[in-house]
C-alpha cells in the first residue's frame, strides 16, 4: 500500500472510531432517558464511583489546599496581600482544581476499574450472554455508570473543595498567621455563586467524560484494542489516558466559555 | 425450525463462511462438525444473532433474526439458550445468582418460585450444594454445568452448544453429553452442538452437518457418519477420532 493510501486508511479508521464513540454516547443517553433504569445497579455504582472514592478525594483535596496555602501565602506576601489568601485558595479550588483533580482521581480509581471490568466481561463473553438473554447490555453496564458518575462527581468535587479550603486555612490561617476572620471573610466577599456553579458544571461534564470513555473502551475491547488479557490491559490504559486528556481539553473549552 | 440460507461471512480478508445453508427441523438435535477454523462457532453466533452475515439470512420460525431490533429481537432471544465454550458465567455472582438472573430479569415470578426453579435446574445438572460458590471456585465441568443450568432455566425452544465438552476429562465429557441428551429429551428443544467429540457426540444427535471451507460439505444421519466412505470425512475422522466413551444411538 502506498503512503497516501495508508494515510487515507488511517484517517478513515480514526473517523470510524470517532463515529462509534459518538454513537456510544448517544445510545448511553438514549437508554438513560428511556425507562426502565436499573436503579439497583445505579446505587451500586454510586457506591463504587462515589462513596469508595471519598478517602482519596479527602486526602488529595486536603493536601492540595495545604500546598495552595503555602504557595498562595508566599506569592501574596510579596505584594503585602496575605489577606487575600482565602479568596485565592477558594477560587482556585472551586473553579478549577476541585473539579479537575477530583475527575483525574476518579478516572484513576474508578474509571480504570470500570474499563477493566467491562473489558473482562467482553473477552469472557459475559456481554454476549447478557444479549442472548434478551437483555440490553447498555442498560446493565453503561447507563448505571453514566448516571452514577453524573451524580457522584459534583458531590466528590464539593468534598474536595471543602477539604482543600480547610487545608488552606490550616496552613495560611493557623500556621502562617492569617486569621480565620480574614481568611473566611475575604473568601465570602470574593467567591460568588457563579463561581460555585462553574465548578459544578465542570464536574458534571467530567463525570460524563469518565463514564463515556471508560465504558466505551471496555465495551469495544476485542474490536479496537485486541483480545485476551493484553486487550483488556490496553483498553484500561487507553481509557485512563483518553479520559484524562479529554478532561483537561474540555476544561479549557469550558473555562473559555464561562470566563 | 431453523433455516440458514446462503450465509457468507469474512473477517477482514479471511473468508470464514461462504454460502452456507442448513435447515434444522423443530425438536431435532444436530451436531456441527469440521476441522478447526471451518466456521462452526461463527455459524452458531450467526444463528444466535451475535454476528451479522455479510450476505444471507438466518430464519427462526420464519423470522430473519438479523432483521429484528429491540423488543422483537429480545423476545426471540427469550426462546433461546446458548452454552458458551467458556461458560460465560457472571463472575461476580454465585452459581445460584447466575441461574436466577434470567428469571429475575425476564419473568415476573416471585422470589420463592425463582428459588424453587433454580434449585430444581441445578439438581438436574448435578450441581446441588454448589449454589453459593462463585465461578472461580468451580472446576471446568462444573462451570459448564452451571452455564447449562442458566441456559435451560427458562425452558428454551432452541439450544446452542459451543464445544460443550472441550477441556473436560473423559468421564466429565461423557456426563456432559448425557446431560445434553437427557435435557433434550426432557425439554424437547431444537439443538445445535458444535463439537469435536467424535464418536461420543454422535450417539445423542439426530443428524451431522460436516463443514469444510465455510460451507456444508456433507449432511448425514448420525449413524451413517462414521461409516462414510467419503475420503474427506474419512480423513477428518482419522485425524480427530477419539476413544469411544458413549454407546452409539
Residue among A125, A129, A134 whose CB faces B78 most closely: A134
What is the reported pLDDT for A147?
96
CB contact under 8 A, A126 and B74: no
Cis omega (within 30 of 0) on the bond before B232?
Answer: no
The dihedrals phi and psi of A167, each to the nearest 5 degrees, come to: -65, -40
Cross-chain CB nearest to B105 (options A124, A125, A133): A133
pLDDT cut 70: percent of chain B above it: 96
Q: Which residues of B lie inside 8 Å of A (Cβ-Cβ)?
A: 45, 48, 50, 73-78, 80-82, 84-86, 88-91, 101-102, 105-106, 150
- Displacement of CA B92 from its chain's centroid (Å): 24
A125 interfacial to chain B (CB closer than 8 Å): yes
Q: How far is A150 from chain B (nearest CA, A)?
A: 24
Q: Assess whether pLDDT exceeds 50 at residue A187.
A: yes
Q: Domain ranges for chain B, please list them.
A: 88-155
pLDDT in tens, A209-255: 999 999 999 999 877 777 788 889 999 999 999 999 999 999 999 99
In terms of DSSP bridges, do strands B158-162 and B190-194 run parallel, antiparallel, or are they unpaired? Answer: parallel
Report pLDDT for B245: 47
What Å distances lie between residue B56 and B8, B16, B26, B65, B206, CA to CA?
6, 14, 21, 11, 25
The interface predicted TM-score of the complex, written ipTM, equals 0.83
Q: What does the alpha-carbon distance between residue B129 and residue B115 come to, in Å, rounded to a whole number?
A: 14
Cell of B174: 461423557
The secondary structure of residue A205, as a DSSP letter, is H
Judging contacts by C-beta atoms under 8 Å, the chain B residues touching residue A141 are none
CB pairs below 8 Å between A and B: how many? 49
CA distance B4 to B47: 8
pLDDT at B244 over 70: no
From the list B73, B88, B105, which residue is nearest A128 (CB)? Answer: B88
C-alpha distance from B178 to closest chain A C-alpha (Å): 24
More confident residue, B233 or A76: A76
Give residue-wise pLDDT tens across range B194-220: 988 787 788 888 888 988 888 888 888
Q: How far is B86 from chain A (nearest CA, A)?
A: 7
CA dihedral A241, A247, A252, A257 (to 10 degrees): 150
Say whether B88 and A129 touch across the interface (CB within 8 A).
yes
User: Are B50 and A124 within 8 A, CB to CB?
Assistant: no
List Cβ neighbours of A157 (8 Å cut-off, separation of 6 or more).
A98, A99, A102, A103, A199, A200, A202, A203
Amino acid at each position: 500500500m502506498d503512503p497516501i493510501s495508508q494515510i487515507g486508511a488511517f484517517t478513515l479508521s480514526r473517523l470510524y472510531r470517532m463515529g462509534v464513540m459518538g454513537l456510544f454516547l448517544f445510545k448511553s443517553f438514549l437508554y438513560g432517558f428511556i425507562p426502565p433504569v436499573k436503579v439497583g445497579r445505579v446505587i451500586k455504582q454510586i457506591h463504587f464511583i462515589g462513596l469508595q472514592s471519598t478517602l482519596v478525594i479527602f486526602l488529595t483535596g486536603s493536601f492540595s489546599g495545604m500546598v495552595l496555602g503555602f504557595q498562595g501565602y508566599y506569592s501574596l506576601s510579596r505584594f503585602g496581600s496575605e489577606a487575600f489568601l482565602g479568596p485565592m485558595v477558594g477560587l482556585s479550588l472551586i473553579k478549577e482544581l476541585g473539579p479537575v483533580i477530583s475527575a483525574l482521581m476518579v478516572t484513576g480509581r474508578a474509571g480504570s476499574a470500570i474499563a477493566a471490568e467491562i473489558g473482562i466481561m467482553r473477552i469472557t463473553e459475559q456481554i454476549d450472554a447478557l444479549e442472548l438473554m434478551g437483555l440490553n447490555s447498555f442498560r446493565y453496564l453503561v447507563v448505571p455508570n453514566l448516571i452514577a458518575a453524573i451524580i457522584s462527581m459534583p458531590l466528590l468535587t464539593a468534598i474536595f473543595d471543602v477539604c482543600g479550603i480547610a487545608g488552606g486555612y490550616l496552613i495560611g490561617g493557623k500556621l502562617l498567621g492569617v486569621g480565620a476572620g480574614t481568611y473566611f471573610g475575604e473568601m465570602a466577599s470574593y467567591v460568588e455563586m457563579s463561581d460555585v456553579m462553574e465548578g459544578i458544571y465542570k464536574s458534571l461534564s467530567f463525570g460524563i467524560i469518565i463514564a463515556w470513555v471508560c465504558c466505551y473502551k471496555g465495551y469495544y475491547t476485542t474490536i479496537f484494542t485486541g483480545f485476551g488479557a493484553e486487550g483488556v490491559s490496553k483498553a484500561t490504559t487507553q481509557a485512563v489516558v483518553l479520559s484524562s486528556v479529554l478532561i483537561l481539553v474540555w476544561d479549557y473549552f469550558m473555562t473559555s466559555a464561562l470566563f | 425450525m431453523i433455516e440458514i440460507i446462503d450465509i457468507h461471512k469474512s473477517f477482514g480478508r479471511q473468508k470464514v463462511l461462504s454460502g452456507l445453508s442448513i435447515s434444522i427441523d423443530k425438536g431435532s438435535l444436530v451436531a456441527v462438525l469440521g476441522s478447526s477454523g471451518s466456521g462452526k462457532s461463527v455459524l452458531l453466533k450467526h444463528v444466535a444473532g451475535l454476528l451479522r452475515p455479510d450476505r444471507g439470512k438466518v430464519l427462526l420460525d420464519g423470522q430473519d433474526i438479523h432483521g429484528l431490533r429491540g423488543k422483537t429481537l429480545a423476545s426471540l432471544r427469550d426462546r433461546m439458550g446458548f452454552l458458551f465454550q467458556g461458560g460465560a458465567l457472571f463472575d461476580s455472582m454465585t452459581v445460584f445468582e447466575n441461574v436466577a438472573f434470567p428469571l429475575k430479569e425476564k419473568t415476573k415470578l416471585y422470589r420463592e418460585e425463582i428459588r424453587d426453579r433454580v434449585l430444581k435446574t441445578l439438581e438436574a445438572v448435578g450441581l446441588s450444594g454448589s449454589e453459593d460458590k462463585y465461578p472461580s471456585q468451580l472446576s471446568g465441568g462444573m462451570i459448564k454445568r452451571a452455564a447449562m443450568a442458566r441456559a435451560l432455566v427458562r425452558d428454551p425452544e432452541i439450544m446452542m452448544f459451543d464445544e460443550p465438552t472441550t477441556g473436560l476429562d473423559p468421564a466429565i465429557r461423557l456426563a456432559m453429553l448425557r446431560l445434553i441428551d437427557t435435557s433434550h429429551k426432557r425439554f424437547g428443544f431444537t439443538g445445535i452442538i458444535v463439537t469435536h467429540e467424535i464418536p461420543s457426540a454422535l450417539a445423542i444427535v439426530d443428524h451431522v452437518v460436516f463443514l469444510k471451507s465455510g460451507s456444508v460439505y456433507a449432511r448425514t444421519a448420525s449413524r451413517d457418519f462414521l461409516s462414510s466412505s467419503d475420503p474427506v470425512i474419512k480423513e477428518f475422522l482419522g485425524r480427530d477420532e477419539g476413544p469411544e466413551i458413549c454407546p452409539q444411538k
